[in-house]
Amino acid sequence: MPLRRSVLLLLFLLSSYSIHATAAALDTRSMFQRVSKAIVQVKISNIQSGEKSSIGSGFFVSNDGFLITNYHVISSVVREPGEYQIQLILSEGEIEKAELVDIDLIHDLALLKSSVTPPVALRFHQGAVEKGSELASIGNPHDLGMTVVKGSYSGTLSDSLYERIHFTGAINPGMSGGPALNVANEVVGINVATAGNEVGFLVPASYGDRLLQRARIEQSRDIDAIMNEQLLENQQRFSQAIFDSGFPLTEMGEFMVPDRWGEFIRCWGDSDNDEKMPYQIVTKQCSTEDDIYIDQDYSTGEIAIEHRLISSDELSAYRFSSLYGSYYADLPSTYADEEDVTSFACQSNFVHNGKLKMKIALCLRRHIKFEGLYDLVLKGATMERDSYGVQTSLLVTGIARDNALKLARKYINSFGWKE
């Protein structure tokens, strides 16, 4: 056989093998056989009744019994430690207890420790992942038993304050805290959330690895203190991101108003121009789309702004003032109860920022269990015209008092007339 023909035949055979190997690279059946003993169901049970209150998934990351799961899976144990306990249901059905060692509240992760010596422990992937790479997510959806879901790595989200991997696979309730593995059976991400229609989200594996390594070198610490520290660090990070944005502005009628402060904030708008109504309203809203889960009745780290341009060619000054005042009374809703936060303390005044006269109400309330954290609600309304004005609201939850006041001042001072 001529040399050239032999080389071409060899290249063809190698190419065929490569295509076949790639197509069969993610064999979920053999993968599950190899890793199943490292994966557990995490059950949170009420101590008095003995019944489960929530379920999730988890996986061993060391041979001495360390496991990773989501914080939201075990949050009731953190919030009410005397009423709930953590149980692990192993691959063969055995039930073992586990203790909480550490958490990463910002990335919704928890590190557990059990007395189990697992026959298999999963490794975290190190380095970059190519977009489009096949992954397999494993967990216990709807308490139906361990399930493997194929999908692909679609990069990290650009419009989120908190790093998330976009996974094109169905992550269902009960799969939270399970691993998403590559063809080498390495953990690329940890299941955390879904947007439906096979749009899932993963926490990058590096954050789970960081928790494990921290447990190796640090002595045990109080979980509440860890949460407080992490929330304070996080509010400083997002506050600085807002201050560094330069407070971009956008046109709204005859006014200039604050616009989105970064890619982590999304905006949308609407208008109500019903000819039967004697006034018109144009709205613009901007907010983060993710916050920090503490428990089912309590979250923080939310940022939201809303502008409302109200105008009328038909209403008298008196009737417009009444309408304008009714909208000003609306306050943005917040997600916490009286056990978590104090009541709002508010101050109201008329101010002039050098460009516009405005009515301002500034409200702060304190987080009871997390020292140094506050919620900010700011309401504002221009007072320049009898039948035309902009109202605005700013909501930030879980922010330090100094940052809240600094942000409020910059926000008010950014309003002005369109040139």
Q: What is the pLDDT of residue 239?
A: 96
Average pLDDT over residues 321-344: 87
Q: Kindly report, residue by residue over 372-384, the tens digit of the pLDDT.
A: 999 999 999 999 9
Q: Is the pLDDT of residue 22 over 70?
A: no
Q: Is the pLDDT of residue 417 over 90?
A: yes
Q: Kindly report, residue by residue over 204-224, the tens digit of the pLDDT.
A: 999 999 999 999 998 778 999
Q: What is the pLDDT of residue 25?
A: 67
Greater confidence, 263 or 69? 69
Q: Would you kindly state where each structural domain of the chain is located, as residue ranges?
A: 21-221, 229-417
Closest CA to 85 of 120, 43, 123: 43
Give the DSSP H or E segment for 30: helix 28-35
Q: Kindly report, residue by residue over 135-161, the tens digit of the pLDDT.
A: 999 999 888 888 999 999 999 988 888
Domain 21-221 falls under CATH 2.40.10.120: yes
Q: What is the pLDDT of residue 21?
A: 37
Longest dimension (CA), the chain: 99
Q: What is the pLDDT of residue 20?
A: 38
| pTM summary value | 0.89
Which of 274-283, 331-340, 354-363 has the highest average model confidence (pLDDT)? 354-363
Is the CB of residue 61 less than 8 Å from the CB of residue 124? Answer: yes
Closest CA to 250 of 264, 237, 268, 238: 268
DSSP structural state of residue 184: T
**In the chain, pLDDT over 90 holds for what percent of residues?**
75
User: What SS3 class is residue 77?
Assistant: helix
The dihedral built from the CA positions of residue 230, 235, 241 and 243, taken in this order, carries a sign that is negative
Q: Kindly report, residue by residue over 198-208, the tens digit of the pLDDT.
A: 789 999 999 99
User: What SS3 class is residue 214?
Assistant: helix
Range 53-56, long-range pairs (CB < 8 A, 24+ positions): 53/84, 55/140, 55/143, 55/174, 56/139, 56/140, 56/174, 56/175, 56/176, 56/177, 56/178
Closest CA to 224 of 90, 365, 329, 79: 79
